[in-house]
Amino acid sequence: MDARTEPEAGYSRRSREIAPFHVMSLLARAQALEREGHDVIHLEIGEPDFTTAAPVIAAGQAALAAGHTRYTAARGLPALREAIAGLYRQRHGLEIDPERVLVTPGGSGALLLASSLLVDPGRHWLLADPGYPCNRHFLRLVEAGAQLVPTGPDTHYQLTPAHVATHWNADSVGALVASPANPTGSVLSREELAALSSSLRARGGHLVVDEIYHGLTYGLDAPSVLEVDDEAFVLNSFSKYFGMTGWRLGWLVAPKRAVPALEKLAQNLYISAPSMAQHAALACFTPAAMAIFEQRRGEFQARRDYLLPALRALGFRIEIEPQGAFYLYADISGFGVDAQVFCQHFLETEHVAFTPGVDFGSYRAGEHVRIAYTQGLPRLQEAVARIARGLGSLPVR
Protein backbone atom coordinates (compact mmCIF):
# COMPACT_ATOMS: atom_id res chain seq x y z
CA MET A 1 0.00 0.00 0.00
CA ASP A 2 1.28 3.47 -0.89
CA ALA A 3 2.27 5.36 2.28
CA ARG A 4 -0.03 8.20 1.23
CA THR A 5 -3.05 5.88 1.32
CA GLU A 6 -2.30 4.27 4.67
CA PRO A 7 -4.72 5.14 7.49
CA GLU A 8 -3.63 8.38 9.23
CA ALA A 9 -0.76 8.91 6.77
CA GLY A 10 -0.02 12.62 6.57
CA TYR A 11 -2.04 13.41 9.71
CA SER A 12 -0.58 15.05 12.79
CA ARG A 13 1.54 13.08 15.22
CA ARG A 14 -0.77 14.16 18.07
CA SER A 15 -3.75 12.56 16.34
CA ARG A 16 -1.83 9.31 15.91
CA GLU A 17 -0.66 9.28 19.53
CA ILE A 18 -4.11 9.78 21.07
CA ALA A 19 -5.39 6.26 21.68
CA PRO A 20 -8.97 5.27 20.88
CA PHE A 21 -11.39 3.97 23.48
CA HIS A 22 -10.94 0.21 23.26
CA VAL A 23 -14.43 -0.19 24.65
CA MET A 24 -15.87 1.41 21.51
CA SER A 25 -14.95 -1.64 19.43
CA LEU A 26 -16.71 -3.78 22.03
CA LEU A 27 -19.71 -1.46 21.87
CA ALA A 28 -19.80 -1.70 18.08
CA ARG A 29 -19.73 -5.49 18.32
CA ALA A 30 -22.42 -5.42 21.01
CA GLN A 31 -24.63 -3.33 18.75
CA ALA A 32 -24.02 -5.73 15.88
CA LEU A 33 -25.09 -8.61 18.12
CA GLU A 34 -28.24 -6.70 19.02
CA ARG A 35 -29.04 -6.20 15.33
CA GLU A 36 -28.74 -9.97 14.97
CA GLY A 37 -31.42 -10.36 17.65
CA HIS A 38 -29.28 -11.04 20.74
CA ASP A 39 -30.10 -9.49 24.11
CA VAL A 40 -26.94 -7.67 25.23
CA ILE A 41 -26.60 -6.35 28.79
CA HIS A 42 -24.56 -3.15 28.60
CA LEU A 43 -22.25 -2.72 31.59
CA GLU A 44 -19.48 -1.06 29.58
CA ILE A 45 -20.47 2.56 28.95
CA GLY A 46 -20.40 5.22 31.68
CA GLU A 47 -23.83 6.59 30.87
CA PRO A 48 -26.79 6.27 33.23
CA ASP A 49 -29.80 4.40 31.89
CA PHE A 50 -32.14 7.12 33.15
CA THR A 51 -33.38 9.69 30.66
CA THR A 52 -33.05 13.38 31.44
CA ALA A 53 -35.46 14.33 34.24
CA ALA A 54 -38.85 15.63 33.08
CA PRO A 55 -38.49 19.14 34.61
CA VAL A 56 -35.22 19.61 32.71
CA ILE A 57 -36.70 18.39 29.42
CA ALA A 58 -39.66 20.75 29.90
CA ALA A 59 -37.31 23.66 30.53
CA GLY A 60 -35.35 22.81 27.39
CA GLN A 61 -38.52 22.65 25.33
CA ALA A 62 -39.65 25.99 26.72
CA ALA A 63 -36.26 27.51 25.91
CA LEU A 64 -36.51 26.37 22.29
CA ALA A 65 -40.07 27.66 22.01
CA ALA A 66 -38.94 31.02 23.39
CA GLY A 67 -36.18 31.25 20.78
CA HIS A 68 -33.20 30.77 23.12
CA THR A 69 -31.06 29.36 20.33
CA ARG A 70 -28.41 32.04 19.96
CA TYR A 71 -24.90 32.31 21.40
CA THR A 72 -24.57 33.19 25.05
CA ALA A 73 -21.61 34.91 26.68
CA ALA A 74 -18.51 32.73 26.57
CA ARG A 75 -18.64 32.17 30.34
CA GLY A 76 -22.29 31.12 30.19
CA LEU A 77 -25.64 32.49 31.29
CA PRO A 78 -25.27 34.65 34.42
CA ALA A 79 -28.30 32.95 35.98
CA LEU A 80 -26.75 29.52 35.48
CA ARG A 81 -23.39 30.59 36.91
CA GLU A 82 -25.24 31.95 39.94
CA ALA A 83 -27.16 28.67 40.31
CA ILE A 84 -23.92 26.68 40.19
CA ALA A 85 -22.39 28.95 42.82
CA GLY A 86 -25.51 28.34 44.89
CA LEU A 87 -24.89 24.59 44.67
CA TYR A 88 -21.53 25.05 46.39
CA ARG A 89 -23.26 27.08 49.09
CA GLN A 90 -25.90 24.39 49.62
CA ARG A 91 -23.61 21.34 49.47
CA HIS A 92 -20.39 22.66 50.94
CA GLY A 93 -21.17 25.89 52.78
CA LEU A 94 -18.92 27.80 50.35
CA GLU A 95 -19.42 31.30 48.99
CA ILE A 96 -18.13 31.01 45.43
CA ASP A 97 -18.24 34.19 43.35
CA PRO A 98 -20.28 33.35 40.19
CA GLU A 99 -17.62 35.28 38.26
CA ARG A 100 -15.29 32.33 38.91
CA VAL A 101 -17.63 29.86 37.16
CA LEU A 102 -17.31 29.15 33.44
CA VAL A 103 -20.03 27.07 31.79
CA THR A 104 -18.52 24.71 29.21
CA PRO A 105 -19.56 22.18 26.53
CA GLY A 106 -19.51 19.17 28.83
CA GLY A 107 -16.90 18.38 31.43
CA SER A 108 -14.58 17.87 28.45
CA GLY A 109 -14.81 21.58 27.69
CA ALA A 110 -13.72 22.35 31.24
CA LEU A 111 -10.76 19.96 30.90
CA LEU A 112 -9.81 21.57 27.59
CA LEU A 113 -9.76 25.03 29.20
CA ALA A 114 -7.77 23.90 32.23
CA SER A 115 -5.17 21.98 30.24
CA SER A 116 -4.82 24.79 27.70
CA LEU A 117 -4.26 27.33 30.48
CA LEU A 118 -1.97 25.45 32.83
CA VAL A 119 0.34 23.17 30.85
CA ASP A 120 2.98 24.28 28.36
CA PRO A 121 4.28 21.94 25.64
CA GLY A 122 6.70 19.42 27.09
CA ARG A 123 5.43 19.83 30.68
CA HIS A 124 3.07 17.47 32.47
CA TRP A 125 0.55 16.78 35.21
CA LEU A 126 0.71 13.79 37.54
CA LEU A 127 -2.27 11.45 37.03
CA ALA A 128 -3.28 8.25 38.79
CA ASP A 129 -3.08 5.02 36.79
CA PRO A 130 -5.81 3.73 36.48
CA GLY A 131 -7.77 6.85 35.55
CA TYR A 132 -10.14 8.36 33.01
CA PRO A 133 -8.33 8.16 29.64
CA CYS A 134 -9.42 11.50 28.21
CA ASN A 135 -7.43 13.29 30.90
CA ARG A 136 -4.13 12.18 29.42
CA HIS A 137 -5.41 12.53 25.86
CA PHE A 138 -6.34 16.19 26.37
CA LEU A 139 -2.85 16.83 27.68
CA ARG A 140 -1.40 15.30 24.53
CA LEU A 141 -3.70 17.49 22.45
CA VAL A 142 -2.11 20.63 23.92
CA GLU A 143 1.38 19.17 23.33
CA ALA A 144 1.83 18.44 27.01
CA GLY A 145 1.95 15.11 28.78
CA ALA A 146 0.72 12.92 31.60
CA GLN A 147 3.03 11.38 34.17
CA LEU A 148 1.02 8.25 34.99
CA VAL A 149 1.57 7.12 38.57
CA PRO A 150 0.76 3.46 39.35
CA THR A 151 -1.81 3.29 42.16
CA GLY A 152 -3.54 0.41 43.88
CA PRO A 153 -6.09 -0.41 46.57
CA ASP A 154 -3.61 0.52 49.32
CA THR A 155 -4.20 4.22 48.45
CA HIS A 156 -7.72 3.63 47.07
CA TYR A 157 -6.24 4.16 43.59
CA GLN A 158 -5.63 7.83 44.40
CA LEU A 159 -2.52 10.04 44.28
CA THR A 160 -0.96 10.85 47.64
CA PRO A 161 1.69 13.34 48.80
CA ALA A 162 4.15 10.42 48.80
CA HIS A 163 3.43 9.87 45.11
CA VAL A 164 4.00 13.55 44.44
CA ALA A 165 7.31 13.47 46.29
CA THR A 166 8.46 10.43 44.33
CA HIS A 167 7.34 11.39 40.83
CA TRP A 168 7.64 15.18 40.75
CA ASN A 169 10.40 16.46 38.47
CA ALA A 170 11.50 19.60 36.64
CA ASP A 171 8.76 19.20 34.01
CA SER A 172 5.91 18.72 36.49
CA VAL A 173 3.45 21.60 36.80
CA GLY A 174 0.59 20.04 38.76
CA ALA A 175 -1.67 17.07 39.34
CA LEU A 176 -5.13 16.08 38.25
CA VAL A 177 -7.14 13.84 40.56
CA ALA A 178 -10.75 12.67 40.44
CA SER A 179 -13.08 12.30 43.40
CA PRO A 180 -15.25 10.25 43.03
CA ALA A 181 -12.96 8.54 40.54
CA ASN A 182 -13.57 6.74 37.28
CA PRO A 183 -13.03 3.73 37.06
CA THR A 184 -12.71 2.93 40.78
CA GLY A 185 -15.42 4.96 42.52
CA SER A 186 -13.02 6.03 45.29
CA VAL A 187 -13.43 9.35 47.11
CA LEU A 188 -10.76 11.63 48.56
CA SER A 189 -11.44 12.86 52.09
CA ARG A 190 -11.10 16.50 53.07
CA GLU A 191 -7.84 15.65 54.85
CA GLU A 192 -6.46 13.85 51.80
CA LEU A 193 -7.33 16.77 49.54
CA ALA A 194 -5.68 19.19 51.96
CA ALA A 195 -2.52 17.09 52.10
CA LEU A 196 -2.32 16.88 48.30
CA SER A 197 -2.87 20.61 48.03
CA SER A 198 -0.08 21.34 50.51
CA SER A 199 2.29 18.97 48.73
CA LEU A 200 1.69 20.61 45.36
CA ARG A 201 1.71 24.15 46.70
CA ALA A 202 5.14 23.52 48.25
CA ARG A 203 6.39 22.71 44.74
CA GLY A 204 4.63 25.60 43.01
CA GLY A 205 2.20 23.20 41.34
CA HIS A 206 -1.47 23.44 40.43
CA LEU A 207 -4.16 21.12 41.77
CA VAL A 208 -6.97 20.24 39.35
CA VAL A 209 -9.83 18.09 40.66
CA ASP A 210 -12.40 16.28 38.57
CA GLU A 211 -15.61 16.39 40.65
CA ILE A 212 -17.84 15.20 37.81
CA TYR A 213 -19.40 12.43 39.91
CA HIS A 214 -20.22 14.69 42.86
CA GLY A 215 -23.72 13.96 44.09
CA LEU A 216 -23.39 10.28 43.20
CA THR A 217 -21.94 9.12 46.51
CA TYR A 218 -23.20 6.49 48.93
CA GLY A 219 -23.11 6.80 52.68
CA LEU A 220 -21.15 10.04 52.59
CA ASP A 221 -20.98 13.39 50.82
CA ALA A 222 -17.77 13.95 48.84
CA PRO A 223 -15.98 17.13 49.94
CA SER A 224 -15.02 19.66 47.29
CA VAL A 225 -11.38 20.58 47.04
CA LEU A 226 -12.54 24.20 47.31
CA GLU A 227 -13.24 23.54 50.99
CA VAL A 228 -9.48 23.27 51.59
CA ASP A 229 -7.89 25.05 48.59
CA ASP A 230 -9.57 28.11 47.12
CA GLU A 231 -6.88 28.26 44.42
CA ALA A 232 -7.65 24.81 43.00
CA PHE A 233 -9.32 24.29 39.61
CA VAL A 234 -12.53 22.22 39.67
CA LEU A 235 -14.04 20.35 36.72
CA ASN A 236 -17.70 19.35 36.87
CA SER A 237 -20.54 18.34 34.59
CA PHE A 238 -24.30 18.09 34.23
CA SER A 239 -23.91 14.61 32.70
CA LYS A 240 -23.78 12.25 35.68
CA TYR A 241 -25.74 13.34 38.79
CA PHE A 242 -27.98 15.62 36.72
CA GLY A 243 -28.43 13.06 33.91
CA MET A 244 -27.86 15.43 30.97
CA THR A 245 -25.26 13.42 29.01
CA GLY A 246 -26.41 14.34 25.51
CA TRP A 247 -26.94 18.01 26.30
CA ARG A 248 -23.15 18.50 26.56
CA LEU A 249 -22.89 20.87 29.48
CA GLY A 250 -20.32 21.24 32.24
CA TRP A 251 -18.47 23.87 34.22
CA LEU A 252 -15.09 24.96 35.54
CA VAL A 253 -14.47 26.83 38.79
CA ALA A 254 -11.17 28.71 38.70
CA PRO A 255 -9.29 31.27 40.77
CA LYS A 256 -10.64 34.71 39.91
CA ARG A 257 -7.34 35.91 38.45
CA ALA A 258 -7.45 33.06 35.91
CA VAL A 259 -10.90 33.92 34.56
CA PRO A 260 -9.89 36.52 31.91
CA ALA A 261 -7.42 34.12 30.31
CA LEU A 262 -9.94 31.27 30.46
CA GLU A 263 -12.66 33.44 28.95
CA LYS A 264 -10.34 34.33 26.07
CA LEU A 265 -9.67 30.63 25.46
CA ALA A 266 -13.39 29.83 25.59
CA GLN A 267 -14.18 32.56 23.07
CA ASN A 268 -11.72 31.06 20.63
CA LEU A 269 -12.23 27.34 21.27
CA TYR A 270 -16.03 27.03 21.27
CA ILE A 271 -17.63 30.53 21.58
CA SER A 272 -20.15 29.33 24.16
CA ALA A 273 -21.82 26.23 25.55
CA PRO A 274 -25.16 25.25 23.93
CA SER A 275 -27.69 27.92 24.83
CA MET A 276 -30.76 25.65 25.00
CA ALA A 277 -28.86 23.25 27.26
CA GLN A 278 -27.96 26.10 29.60
CA HIS A 279 -31.58 27.21 29.88
CA ALA A 280 -32.65 23.60 30.48
CA ALA A 281 -30.01 23.17 33.19
CA LEU A 282 -31.53 25.97 35.25
CA ALA A 283 -34.32 23.52 36.08
CA CYS A 284 -31.79 21.11 37.66
CA PHE A 285 -31.73 23.22 40.80
CA THR A 286 -35.50 23.16 41.40
CA PRO A 287 -36.90 21.04 44.25
CA ALA A 288 -38.79 18.81 41.81
CA ALA A 289 -35.67 17.96 39.82
CA MET A 290 -33.50 17.52 42.89
CA ALA A 291 -36.00 15.01 44.30
CA ILE A 292 -35.64 12.96 41.10
CA PHE A 293 -31.85 13.08 41.25
CA GLU A 294 -31.82 11.94 44.86
CA GLN A 295 -34.20 9.07 44.08
CA ARG A 296 -31.84 8.00 41.31
CA ARG A 297 -28.87 8.20 43.66
CA GLY A 298 -30.69 5.75 45.93
CA GLU A 299 -31.24 3.42 42.99
CA PHE A 300 -27.54 3.50 42.11
CA GLN A 301 -26.67 2.63 45.70
CA ALA A 302 -29.07 -0.31 45.65
CA ARG A 303 -27.42 -1.54 42.46
CA ARG A 304 -23.95 -1.25 43.96
CA ASP A 305 -25.05 -3.00 47.13
CA TYR A 306 -26.35 -5.93 45.06
CA LEU A 307 -23.62 -6.20 42.44
CA LEU A 308 -20.54 -5.83 44.66
CA PRO A 309 -21.12 -8.92 46.87
CA ALA A 310 -22.54 -10.89 43.94
CA LEU A 311 -19.37 -10.46 41.88
CA ARG A 312 -17.10 -11.06 44.85
CA ALA A 313 -18.92 -14.36 45.44
CA LEU A 314 -18.08 -15.36 41.85
CA GLY A 315 -14.36 -14.75 42.39
CA PHE A 316 -13.92 -11.15 41.22
CA ARG A 317 -11.44 -9.34 43.49
CA ILE A 318 -12.85 -5.90 44.26
CA GLU A 319 -10.64 -4.71 47.07
CA ILE A 320 -12.28 -1.40 47.86
CA GLU A 321 -15.95 -0.64 48.16
CA PRO A 322 -16.66 2.22 45.74
CA GLN A 323 -18.05 5.21 47.57
CA GLY A 324 -19.19 7.08 44.49
CA ALA A 325 -19.82 7.10 40.72
CA PHE A 326 -21.38 3.91 39.29
CA TYR A 327 -18.48 1.56 38.60
CA LEU A 328 -16.77 -1.50 40.02
CA TYR A 329 -13.08 -1.90 39.16
CA ALA A 330 -12.52 -5.63 39.38
CA ASP A 331 -9.31 -7.65 39.47
CA ILE A 332 -9.83 -10.74 37.28
CA SER A 333 -6.29 -12.14 37.56
CA GLY A 334 -7.61 -15.16 39.44
CA PHE A 335 -9.43 -16.33 36.32
CA GLY A 336 -6.19 -16.79 34.37
CA VAL A 337 -7.12 -14.79 31.29
CA ASP A 338 -6.26 -11.33 29.92
CA ALA A 339 -8.90 -8.63 30.40
CA GLN A 340 -9.49 -8.04 26.70
CA VAL A 341 -9.95 -11.77 26.09
CA PHE A 342 -12.19 -11.87 29.18
CA CYS A 343 -14.38 -9.04 27.86
CA GLN A 344 -14.55 -10.56 24.38
CA HIS A 345 -15.51 -13.95 25.79
CA PHE A 346 -18.44 -12.63 27.81
CA LEU A 347 -19.67 -10.44 24.98
CA GLU A 348 -19.64 -13.26 22.45
CA THR A 349 -20.85 -16.14 24.64
CA GLU A 350 -23.09 -14.52 27.27
CA HIS A 351 -23.80 -11.16 25.67
CA VAL A 352 -22.64 -9.16 28.68
CA ALA A 353 -20.39 -6.17 27.92
CA PHE A 354 -17.61 -4.86 30.24
CA THR A 355 -14.74 -2.42 29.68
CA PRO A 356 -11.17 -3.79 29.69
CA GLY A 357 -8.66 -2.16 32.03
CA VAL A 358 -6.44 -1.07 29.14
CA ASP A 359 -8.78 1.89 28.56
CA PHE A 360 -7.75 3.35 31.94
CA GLY A 361 -3.97 3.12 31.82
CA SER A 362 -1.22 0.53 31.78
CA TYR A 363 -0.62 -0.49 35.41
CA ARG A 364 -1.96 -4.06 35.73
CA ALA A 365 -4.48 -3.12 33.03
CA GLY A 366 -4.65 -6.65 31.66
CA GLU A 367 -5.81 -7.89 35.06
CA HIS A 368 -8.79 -5.57 35.48
CA VAL A 369 -12.18 -4.78 34.02
CA ARG A 370 -14.60 -1.97 34.77
CA ILE A 371 -18.23 -2.90 35.28
CA ALA A 372 -20.80 -0.09 35.20
CA TYR A 373 -23.97 -0.56 37.22
CA THR A 374 -25.97 1.60 34.85
CA GLN A 375 -28.74 -0.98 34.38
CA GLY A 376 -31.68 -1.72 36.65
CA LEU A 377 -31.57 -4.47 39.29
CA PRO A 378 -33.40 -7.10 37.18
CA ARG A 379 -30.86 -6.64 34.39
CA LEU A 380 -27.96 -6.80 36.86
CA GLN A 381 -29.37 -10.02 38.31
CA GLU A 382 -29.57 -11.49 34.82
CA ALA A 383 -26.02 -10.30 34.12
CA VAL A 384 -24.73 -12.06 37.24
CA ALA A 385 -26.46 -15.29 36.20
CA ARG A 386 -24.87 -15.08 32.76
CA ILE A 387 -21.44 -14.28 34.21
CA ALA A 388 -21.65 -17.27 36.56
CA ARG A 389 -22.43 -19.49 33.59
CA GLY A 390 -19.76 -17.96 31.37
CA LEU A 391 -16.98 -18.42 33.91
CA GLY A 392 -17.20 -22.15 33.26
CA SER A 393 -16.18 -21.77 29.62
CA LEU A 394 -13.38 -19.20 29.91
CA PRO A 395 -10.46 -19.95 27.54
CA VAL A 396 -7.88 -20.24 30.34
CA ARG A 397 -4.34 -19.65 29.08
Whether 5 shows a pLDDT value over 60: the answer reads: no
Same domain for 383 and 331, yes or no, is yes
- Domain edge (last residue) among 247, 264, 285: 285
SS3 letters for the chain? CCHHHCCCCCCCHHHHHCCCCHHHHHHHHHHHHHHCCCCCEECCCCCCCCCCCHHHHHHHHHHHHCCCCCCCCCCCCHHHHHHHHHHHHHHHCCCCCHHHEEEECHHHHHHHHHHHHHCCCCCEEEEEECCCHHHHHHHHHCCCEEEEEECCHHHCCCCCHHHHHHHCCCCEEEEEEECCCCCCCCCCCHHHHHHHHHHHHCCCCEEEEECCCCCCECCCCCCCHHHCCCCCEEEEECCCCCCCHHHCCEEEECCHHHHHHHHHHHHHHCCCCCHHHHHHHHHHHCHHHHHHHHHHHHHHHHHHHHHHHHHHHCCCECCCCCCECCEEEEECHHHCCCHHHHHHHHHHHCCEECEEHHHHCCCCHHHEEEEECCCCHHHHHHHHHHHHHHHHHCCCC
The domain tally of the chain equals 2
Whether 397 shows a pLDDT value over 70: the answer reads: no
Same domain for 187 and 42, yes or no, is no
- Domain edge (last residue) among 261, 285, 309: 285
User: What does the mean pLDDT of the chain come to?
Assistant: 95
Whether 1 shows a pLDDT value over 50: the answer reads: no
Same domain for 161 and 188, yes or no, is yes
Which pLDDT tens digit goes with each residue over 229-283? 999 999 999 999 999 999 999 999 999 999 999 999 999 999 999 999 999 999 9
Whether 4 shows a pLDDT value over 80: the answer reads: no
Residue 1, in any domain of the structure: no
Whether 61 shows a pLDDT value over 70: the answer reads: yes
Residue range(s) defining the domain that contains residue 134: 54-285
Confidence of residue 60 (pLDDT cuts 50, 70, 90): very high
Residue 397, in any domain of the structure: no
Whether 107 shows a pLDDT value over 70: the answer reads: yes
Which pLDDT tens digit goes with each residue over 27-38? 899 999 999 999
Same domain for 58 and 47, yes or no, is no
Summarize the confidence of residues 157-170 as an average pLDDT.
98
Same domain for 38 and 58, yes or no, is no
Give the CA angle between residues 172, 173, 177 to the nearest 5°.
Answer: 95
Residue 8, in any domain of the structure: no
Residue 229 burial by Cβ neighbours in a 10 Å radius (0-12, 13-18, 19+): buried
Same domain for 294 and 280, yes or no, is no
Confidence (pLDDT) at 3 = 47
Amino acid at 242: F
Torsion from C-alpha of 365, 371, 374, 378, nearest 10 degrees: 170
Contact call for residues 172 and 205 (beta carbons, < 8 A): yes
Residue 216, in any domain of the structure: yes
Percent of the chain predicted with pLDDT > 90: 92
Which pLDDT tens digit goes with each residue over 323-368? 999 999 999 999 999 999 999 999 999 999 999 999 999 999 999 9
Q: Where residue 298 sits, what CATH number does that domain have?
A: 3.90.1150.10
Q: Where residue 256 sits, what CATH number does that domain have?
A: 3.40.640.10
Residue 337, in any domain of the structure: yes
pTM: 0.94
61, 102, 43: which is closest to 329 by C-alpha? 43
